């Protein structure tokens, strides 16, 4: 790393860090994974979404048509990515069921029902070296479980009668942890399943330690402390007692494994609380860091922190991509990570040395009491793929004039720009905001040719900090205590300290907008991204509804929308999880004797203005990492919010949590808002084929072959938002569910 331009203090720190860049392997080649199967989330352990097959080409892709479909009938599985093993596809469907389908006929082989709370984005497959032991590995709420891939039945010899309690081992009383399940299913290396977590983003959430479990026994094999303990490297980058109360620094998304080297690459998230860090002064390793660990032992090899002392929620969430690049005539096995705030960092996989220069640049100080924003941040020399500011000149031109005038006034009073610290005195308008940029599922690679693909959105967030105050609700002292305990444990991380909404919507006065039975059903059964919380006593449920502005009364005739599964049901409910004898109260304050700020501050994610800046809003782009340039960029998706259907105005607004499949024949498949499915020419970005699905897509696409024929699977089971573009006419053949495309059979 070039340190000549850095301030002396930072230079010394980086020299110290460079001492940790240990050369660990002489292996060459991208990875031992051959990219001809799709048996793990993201395709395989490297998460490249790359598939090697010859059937679909640039010349014939425009002939793609629906081969078969499988209906889900309800909204439950809309983010789930299918996996395929031999002639079986595993999907998630009606009645919260895991379903094995024949890829030849599309018929159900077996159904395991009532897996409510299964990891929403998918699962992984593992088999023993002799091929006799075949397992599906997944999380169910806060447990790690397995199902026999052949029979569909729970493997009760795994862990404790079929499950591992993943709340154990997080430096908290396990019974005080109400949420930790990762949204993605971890990654497999040899006979280990390496797991991240999603413990929440509020104050005092649990730490996001990375853990590896033996797939056969469930035994915990290693733990990596993402918030270092005393004596561990990085401990000095936090206050001395921070490990006792700080949380986050987790992988809630996609890890990648280089099987040949035995390295797992972790894209780590932000420390909590995300927007105010006065209780965690320091750079906060390993927050917002790309970390390379020995996959067998969990030992640290090297790391690089992409944001020091994050107060913008710029966690790493997209999968690190493993590529072999040819730079200046020299082949380098590299790992590249794209960030929420629009940068690409590229490192030598073996030793962590930057492939392209990275410079520490100064940024503004924070004005908040007790807060100390880090004085510099690392900026890579590769071109950014997003804008970093919203101004009057770059405001959405499709806004009505009255809306423009309101925003002109807000912009005059606000601050916008890269790394502007949040404040309680004025709004900060961050571009990109909490959603990115690049988010989970938004990166893929042609690993042999050094091309990185990114789906990106230019989605601003508007922040303003406010002091955390207890809500004023007319409840008895006993009921209020019950509600506060329940809310802190189960709701606060998504809906905020004061019902204001964070990653989930505001709950203020929601009791005045829905009936009690519907509210109760949502809490107990979950909905959308919200997991089920099945065991809530009636007194707490009623008090919670009143806490949110409602008067509990039943509405006759309301029933669950979920349809019961029919067909070859072989098992139900997964492993029987033992109930806690008693539950400890979740941490809600600093440990006794620990110094801490006088006040806590919070803000919502400020994401209600998805089209705040001028288009283009959503794009797919190809980085040529052999020379560090953006090879091409194309807008994607459809949305009628402001462009009124005029696609010439650029790409649409929207949350672009979609996915890609990259093929060895030079075709790039990508999904986008409005149920769009594209095939791009990998050489230049030209659209080779596009179609519109009957429903929205949120999960990752999957690809497989059968007898040389190539199939693309898309989970089109999410509902369109009201502003989605012109879906009054839908193809009759397409239903809500899994849509499988292929070339027509040769006659």
Give residue-wise pLDDT tens across range 503-521. Answer: 667 776 666 555 676 677 6
pLDDT at 736: 84
With a pLDDT cut of 70, the percent of the chain lying above it is 84
Domain limits of the chain? 8-465+606-742
What value does the mean pLDDT take over residues 22-42? 65
* Better-predicted residue by pLDDT, 478 or 130: 130
- Burial (Cβ within 10 Å: 0-12, 13-18, ≥19) of residue 235: middle
Find, among 198, 197, 179, 203, the residue nearest to 273 by Cα.
203
pLDDT at 20 over 70: no
Give residue 529's pLDDT. Answer: 61
> Which tokens sit at 486?
């329940």
At residue 471, does pLDDT exceed 60? no
Report cis status (omega within 30 of 0) of the bond before 437.
yes
Residue 89 has pLDDT above 90, yes or no: yes
How far is CA 707 from each of CA 27, 102, 162, 704, 735, rounded to the nearest angstrom? 34, 14, 36, 10, 27
Q: Lowest-confidence range among 1-5, 86-90, 151-155, 163-167?
A: 1-5
651: pLDDT confidence band, cut at 50, 70 and 90?
Answer: very low
- Side-chain-side CA neighbours of residue 2 (13 Å): 11
The Cα 609–Cα 593 span in angstroms is 42
Read off the pLDDT of each residue in 534-560 and give the average, rounded to a whole number: 64
**Average pLDDT value for residue range 61-76:** 86
Is the domain spanning 8-465+606-742 CATH 2.140.10.10? The answer is: yes
Region 176-205 average pLDDT:
91
Handedness of CA 126, 132, 133, 134 (dihedral sign): positive
Lowest mean pLDDT among 53-67, 78-92, 437-451, 716-730: 716-730
The residue ranking higher by pLDDT, 658 or 360, is 360
Out of 42-46, 186-190, 593-597, 743-747, least confident range: 743-747
Task: Reduce the DSSP state of residue 18 to 3 states and report it.
Answer: helix
Confidence of residue 588 (pLDDT cuts 50, 70, 90): confident
Q: Are 471 and 499 in contact (CB under 8 A)?
A: yes
Would you state the pLDDT for residue 12? 32
**245-273 residue pLDDT tens:** 999 999 999 999 999 999 999 999 999 99
Task: Please tell me the pTM assigned to this model.
Answer: 0.86
Rounded-to-integer distance, Cα 10 and Cα 12, Å: 5
């Amino acid at each position: 790393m070039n340190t000549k331009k850095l301030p002396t203090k930072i230079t010394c720190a980086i020299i110290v860090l460079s001492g940790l860049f240990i050369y660990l392997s002489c292996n060459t080649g991208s990875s031992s994974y051959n990219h001809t199967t799709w048996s793990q989330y993201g395709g395989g352990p490297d998460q490249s979404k790359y598939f090697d097959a010859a059937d679909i080409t640039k010349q014939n892709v425009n002939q793609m048509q629906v081969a078969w479909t499988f209906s889900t009938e309800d909204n439950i599985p809309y983010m789930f990515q299918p996996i395929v093993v031999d002639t079986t596809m595993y999907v998630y469907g009606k009645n919260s069921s895991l379903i094995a389908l024949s890829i030849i006929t599309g018929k159900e082989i077996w159904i395991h029902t009532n897996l409510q709370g299964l990891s929403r984005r998918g699962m992984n497959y593992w088999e023993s070296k002799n091929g006799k032991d075949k397992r599906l590995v997944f999380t169910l709420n806060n447990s790690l479980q397995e199902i026999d891939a052949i029979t569909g039945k729970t493997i009760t010899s795994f862990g404790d009668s079929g499950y591992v309690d993943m709340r154990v081992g997080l430096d908290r009383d396990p019974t005080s942890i109400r949420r930790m399940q990762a949204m993605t299913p971890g990654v497999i290396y040899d006979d280990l399943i390496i797991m991240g977590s999603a413990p929440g983003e509020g104050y005092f959430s649990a730490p996001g330690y990375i853990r590896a479990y033996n797939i056969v026994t469930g035994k915990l094999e290693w733990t990596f402390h993402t918030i270092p303990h005393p004596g561990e490297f990085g401990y000095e980058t936090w206050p001395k007692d921070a490990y006792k109360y700080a949380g986050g620094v987790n992988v809630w998304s996609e890890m990648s494994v280089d099987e040949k080297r035995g390295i797992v690459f972790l894209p780590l998230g932000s420390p909590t609380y995300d927007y105010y860090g006065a209780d965690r002064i320091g750079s906060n390793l390993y927050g917002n860091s790309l970390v390379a660990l020995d996959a067998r032992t969990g030992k640290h090899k090297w790391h690089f922190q992409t944001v020091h002392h994050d107060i913008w929620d710029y966690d790493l969430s997209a999968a690190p991509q493993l590529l072999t690049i040819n730079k200046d005539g020299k082949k380098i096995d590299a790992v590249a990570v794209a960030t929420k705030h629009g940068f690409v960092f590229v490192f030598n996989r073996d030793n962590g040395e930057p492939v392209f220069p990275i410079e520490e640049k100064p940024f503004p100080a924070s004005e908040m009491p007790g807060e100390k924003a880090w004085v510099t941040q690392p900026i890579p020399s590769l071109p950014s793929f997003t804008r970093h500011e919203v101004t009057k000149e770059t405001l959405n031109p499709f806004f009505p004039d009255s809306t423009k005038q309101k925003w002109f006034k807000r912009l005059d009073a606000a601050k916008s720009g890269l790394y502007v610290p949040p404040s309680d005195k004025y709004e900060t308008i961050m571009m990109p905001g909490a959603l990115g940029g690049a988010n989970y599922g938004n990166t893929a690679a042609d690993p042999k040719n050094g091309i990185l693909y990114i789906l990106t959105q230019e989605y601003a967030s508007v922040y303003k900090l406010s002091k955390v105050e207890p809500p004023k609700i007319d409840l008895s002292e006993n009921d209020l205590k019950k509600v506060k305990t329940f809310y802190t444990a189960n709701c606060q991380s998504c809906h905020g300290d004061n019902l204001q909404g964070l990653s989930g919507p505001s709950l203020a006065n929601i009791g005045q907008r829905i009936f009690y039975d519907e509210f109760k059903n949502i809490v107990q059964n979950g909905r959308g991204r919200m997991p089920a919380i099945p065991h809530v006593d009636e007194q707490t449920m009623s008090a919670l509804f009143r806490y949110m502005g409602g008067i509990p009364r039943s509405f006759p005739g309301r029933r669950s929308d979920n349809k019961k599964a029919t067909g070859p049901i072989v098992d139900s409910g997964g492993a029987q999880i033992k109930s806690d004898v008693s539950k400890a109260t979740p941490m809600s304050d600093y440990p006794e004797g620990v110094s801490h700020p006088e006040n806590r501050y919070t803000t919502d994610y400020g994401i209600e203005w998805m089209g705040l800046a001028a288009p283009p809003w959503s794009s797919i782009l190809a980085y040529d990492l052999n020379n560090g340039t953006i090879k091409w960029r194309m807008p994607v998706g459809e949305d009628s919010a402001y462009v009124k259907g005029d696609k010439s105005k650029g790409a649409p607004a929207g949350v672009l949590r979609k996915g890609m499949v990259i093929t060895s024949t030079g075709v790039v498949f990508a999904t986008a808002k409005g149920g769009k499915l594209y095939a791009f020419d990998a050489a230049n970005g030209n659209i080779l084929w596009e179609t519109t699905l009957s429903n929205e897509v949120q999960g990752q696409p999957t690809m497989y072959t059968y007898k040389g024929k190539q199939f693309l699977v898309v989970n089109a089971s999410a509902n369109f938002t009201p502003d989605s573009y012109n879906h009054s006419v839908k193809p009759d053949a397409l239903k809500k569910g899994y849509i499988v495309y292929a070339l027509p059979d040769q006659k």
